[in-house]
Structure 1
Amino acid sequence: MNFLSHYYFDRDTDNCYFVLGTVLPDLLKNADKNVILHPEKLKHTDKNVNHIIAGWNKHLEVDRHFHSDDFFLTHSHQLKKELTPAIVGSPVKPFFLGHIAIELILDNLLITTGEIGINEFYDHLDSCQEETITEFLKFAEMKDPEKFLRFYREFRKSRYLHTYINIDQITYALKRICMRVWPNPFTAGQEASMTTILLNYRLGLMDVFMGVFNSISAKLTLPGKN
């Protein structure tokens, strides 16, 4: 799941560090795809660092349930099939595109149906002290925490997730993700075709998409932090 879909499960949580932890694995991948951390079983003397670790573990649990859910398996496969003709000649693997596309569509639907508030999400991130984040990253043995912090400051400043309300920006987000692996993933024509497909697919999910969130909520064992 993407940032806002993870946030959905803890949208009523008051603890900013826990919320940060629930999206931190994906933030780190965006900041540096080569960074691999495993803080899952660590315990710190600082309670806020431990809240980040607890949120990190919640992220892992949500992703486990999501990637085994029939909703994800069905719709990532169907999106792969529908997007494949639109990207003929592209180096991007269709199964990768289907996987990421369904996650971004879910974020868009959470925003456009009012299930979550983006400003509240950013308020949580803005409330976290950099000293605590740095301590977590050092504790988890990240060699260059400042590299992440530079990305994190820009991520918060840009308020980029607000753009997910527009389907053409979902295509742009897909392109940006693919560019981490393939320098020039799509032509302008391919992007236009993808946008049309994603728009139509999104409309078909509007009345049923909350089913996957309800299904995962019923399976979760890790609570939020208030």
Structure 2
Amino acid sequence: MNFLSHYYFEQQTNNPEIVLGTVLPDLLKNANKNWSIHPEKKPDLFTQLHTSAILTGWKRHLEVDRIFHSAHFFNQKMQELKKLLIPILNDSPVRPSFLAHIGVELLLDHLLVTHQKINVNQFYNQLDAVDEIALAAFLNLCAIDKVDHFFKFYQSFKSSRYLLSYQKLENIAYALQRICMRLWERPFSEKTNYQLISVLEFYKNQLEFDFMVIFEEIENKLK
């Protein structure tokens, strides 16, 4: 799941460090794809109140992803979108399965926003309230090198309010392109990008009918 889908499950909490923890795995991956940490394996390191809360959110992220990726809903929707993407990716190096996986996740974020199931500004307000000294301590305990590099990315992520753009479907296509550019230099031609927007629009209208099913399923399993 993507940022806003993870936030959906924590939107009632008044603890900003827990909210941060639920999106921190993806923030780190975006800041530096080579960072790979597993704080959940060393919980005894995080005894301070705020670092413990970040770890709580982190473990929540892992559990939500585990349930989501093993759910019939996700696999069914990914296969449906993949079939629609295959014809437009003939001249692209991007794997249809990869694009379908990320596409379903971003479309779920888009639908949460457009159906007002979450408040994106509230999400950013929670991140603004995070104790950054505790965040730095958490990253140091995880042996992250160049913590300052992460904070530069993190401040940009917050100030840009980029996730507000997920209200528009063309921005979902743009986000997919940016993700693919981390792996392929030229993932899409101009024609493919135009076709991608059309496919996303078509599939969004199908996904819209039952997209909340997966959130309800995960919520019930988390309880």
Post-superposition shift, 1:123? 0.4
Instruction: Please say if residues 51 and 138 of structure 2, whose CA atoms lie closer than 8 Å, have aligned partners that are also in contact.
Output: yes
Q: 1:26-66: CA deviations, max 9, x gaps?
A: 01000000000110032323110000001000000000000
Aligned position for 2:3: 3
Q: What runs of 5+ residues in structure 1 fail to find an aligned partner?
A: 222-226
**Count of residues in correspondence between the two structures:** 221
Post-superposition shift, 1:159? 0.3
Post-superposition shift, 1:107? 0.1
Residue 204 (str. 1) matches residue 206 (str. 2): yes
Q: Partner of 1:215: helix, strand, or coil?
A: helix
Distance 1:187 1:125 in 2: 36
TM-score after normalising by structure 2: 0.97
Post-superposition shift, 1:98? 0.4
Distance 1:154 1:140 in 2: 22
Please tell me the residue identity of whatever aligns with 1:84: I
TM-score after normalising by structure 1: 0.96
Please tell me the residue identity of whatever aligns with 1:102: V
Instruction: Please say if residues 93 and 187 of structure 2, whose CA atoms lie closer than 8 Å, have aligned partners that are also in contact.
Output: yes
Distance 2:217 2:12 in 1: 18
Question: After the TM superposition, which segments of 4 or more aligned residues of structure 1 sit over 3 Å from their partners?
Answer: none
Aligned position for 2:157: 155
Distance 1:143 1:155 in 2: 19
Q: Partner of 2:91: helix, strand, or coil?
A: coil
RMSD over aligned Cα atoms: 0.8
Aligned position for 1:195: 197
Residue 129 (str. 1) matches residue 131 (str. 2): yes
Aligned position for 1:179: 181
Deviates more, 1:26-35 or 1:201-210: 201-210
Distance 1:115 1:108 in 2: 10
